Amino acid sequence: MATMEIEGRVVVGEEMRVVEGTVVVEDGEITEIREEEVESDDVIIPALVNAHTHIGDTIAKETGRGLPLDEVVAPPDSHKHRMLRSASRDEKRAAMRHAVERMRSDGIGAFGDFREGGLEGAEDFRAATADSPVESVAFGSGPPEVLDIADGYGASGARDDDFTEERAEAREREAIFGIHAGERDADDIDGAFGYDPDFLVHMVHAREEDLDRLNEDGTPVVACPRCNLVIGVGKPPVEELVEATTVALGTDNVMLNVPSLWREMEFVSKHYDIPDDEVLRMATVNGARAIGAEGGTVEEGAPARLVVLHGDRSLAYTQDVLAGVVRRAGAVDVKQVVLQ
Ligand SMILES: [Zn+2]
């Protein structure tokens, strides 16, 4: 692979330090970040990581609006599952492929998807994402054997089923086990913790004791506040979750929520009091760690997975680069997505 040099204001390392300079990429790796004066005012950030999606829902955009949570998404007979059953496998694959390409062009370099439909669902996901440079992490559903195909296991929730066997199988294979918890109410949170999951999704209804527990065992949480809003389950306590543990961001179902981390970051930054560097970590490195994906930082030795933002669009005249990135940037600002 050729050497590549990208100039601009570079957001470096996990601490998201802004430096002016040149990022040097060789053979898919960032080999140097040279601090120097450069001509370009572009902004270089890590490729974003969407830590929770259901891209199968792409076939059903803008349906299910106004229905209560269980009627929209709970397995096996909710609106979403009926829509998924009524589509052919080719239709579902095409829609998923479309969603991944939209995410890529929007600056997302990796995502973690809870894939419905058991073995077939995981196969469809693999087929749909095989040719994309986006790291597409599949959290399968159904029988434990889904782990032959998927990267990890994504449990719908402790009240839906018993996942003891699936949890054991994931542990045996050193595969990541994630589970939805505390989305509608707090009733499934203890059950979810009982599986000793590698990450929890939602925790809208996290109680004091849950925050203590997160603080003790360090289980990451993937928060999906815009999706929680549109489904009407409330607003997750993101500030408290950030105090307690590592928090990543996900856009959850595609049915009612566009999978844009620009929008998610802006929403989080404006609804909560969270520092800009933390919001950007939530949309990058924290997500990569939670779902076991590569990338998440721009630093020497890291894989070259980054986004170059135009310096002369939304970010022009911005006096604070990180604030501009998390509160202002959007699809229109994406100049180049490097995923090597
Ligand atoms: Zn979900």
Instruction: For residue 200, report the distance from its CA to the centre of ligand 1, in Å.
Output: 10
Instruction: For residue 52, report the distance from its CA to the centre of ligand 1, in Å.
Output: 6
Nearest CA among 32, 31, 43, 50 for reference residue 7: 43
Instruction: For residue 309, report the distance from its CA to the centre of ligand 1, in Å.
Output: 29
Instruction: For residue 30, report the distance from its CA to the centre of ligand 1, in Å.
Output: 33
Instruction: For residue 132, report the distance from its CA to the centre of ligand 1, in Å.
Output: 22
Instruction: For residue 184, report the distance from its CA to the centre of ligand 1, in Å.
Output: 12
Nearest CA among 15, 9, 14, 12 for reference residue 36: 9
Q: Are the C-beta atoms of 156 and 177 separated by less than 8 Å?
A: no
Instruction: For residue 15, report the distance from its CA to the centre of ligand 1, in Å.
Output: 29
Cα 128 to Cα 126: distance, rounded to the nearest angstrom = 5
Question: For residue 93, what pLDDT is reported?
Answer: 97
Question: For residue 145, what pLDDT is reported?
Answer: 98
Question: For residue 76, what pLDDT is reported?
Answer: 87
Question: For residue 73, what pLDDT is reported?
Answer: 87
Q: Is the dihedral of CA 235, 244, 249, 278 positive or negative?
A: positive
Instruction: For residue 223, report the distance from its CA to the centre of ligand 1, in Å.
Output: 10
Give residues with Cβ within 8 angstroms of 165, minimum separation 6.
Answer: 144
Backbone angles phi, psi at 205, to 5 degrees: -105, 30
Instruction: Extract the tokens encoding 6.
Output: 């990208």
Tens digit of pLDDT at every position of the chain (340 positions): 689 999 999 999 999 999 999 999 999 999 999 999 999 999 999 999 999 999 999 999 999 888 988 898 888 889 989 989 999 999 999 999 999 999 999 999 999 999 999 999 999 999 999 999 999 999 999 999 999 999 999 999 999 999 999 999 999 999 999 999 999 999 999 999 999 999 999 999 999 999 999 999 999 999 999 999 999 999 999 999 999 999 999 999 999 999 999 999 999 999 999 999 999 999 999 999 999 999 999 999 999 999 999 999 999 999 999 999 999 999 999 999 999 9
Which residues are bridge partners to 113 per DSSP? 53, 138
Question: For residue 239, what pLDDT is reported?
Answer: 98
Read off the amino acid at residue 304. A
Instruction: For residue 4, report the distance from its CA to the centre of ligand 1, in Å.
Output: 37
Read off the amino acid at residue 60. A
Instruction: For residue 36, report the distance from its CA to the centre of ligand 1, in Å.
Output: 43
Three-state DSSP class for residue 150: coil
Instruction: For residue 336, report the distance from its CA to the centre of ligand 1, in Å.
Output: 29
Instruction: For residue 173, report the distance from its CA to the centre of ligand 1, in Å.
Output: 23
Instruction: For residue 253, report the distance from its CA to the centre of ligand 1, in Å.
Output: 6
Instruction: For residue 158, report the distance from its CA to the centre of ligand 1, in Å.
Output: 13
Which residues are bridge partners to 23 per DSSP? 6, 33
Domains of the chain, first to last: 4-47+296-339 (2.30.40.10), 48-291 (3.20.20.140)
Instruction: For residue 287, report the distance from its CA to the centre of ligand 1, in Å.
Output: 14
Instruction: For residue 113, report the distance from its CA to the centre of ligand 1, in Å.
Output: 8
Instruction: For residue 47, report the distance from its CA to the centre of ligand 1, in Å.
Output: 22
Instruction: Kindly give the residue spans of alpha helices, DSSP state H, lying in the chain.
Output: 69-73, 79-86, 89-105, 118-129, 164-172, 189-194, 208-217, 225-231, 238-244, 261-271, 276-282, 285-291, 321-327
Annotate 31-67 with b (16+ C-beta within 10 A) or e (fewer): eebeeeebebbbbbbbbbbbbbbbbbbbbbeeebeeb
Q: Are the C-beta atoms of 93 and 122 separated by less than 8 Å?
A: no
Q: Are the C-beta atoms of 224 and 251 separated by less than 8 Å?
A: yes
Give residues with Cβ within 8 angstroms of 103, minimum separation 6.
Answer: 50, 111, 134, 259
Give residues with Cβ within 8 angstroms of 170, minimum separation 6.
Answer: 144, 147, 152, 153, 176, 177
Instruction: For residue 291, report the distance from its CA to the centre of ligand 1, in Å.
Output: 14
Instruction: For residue 277, report the distance from its CA to the centre of ligand 1, in Å.
Output: 25
Pairing status of strand 135-140 against strand 252-253: unpaired
Cα 167 to Cα 113: distance, rounded to the nearest angstrom = 17
pTM: 0.98
Instruction: For residue 142, report the distance from its CA to the centre of ligand 1, in Å.
Output: 15
Question: For residue 1, what pLDDT is reported?
Answer: 62
CA 190 to chain centre: 24
Instruction: For residue 202, report the distance from its CA to the centre of ligand 1, in Å.
Output: 8
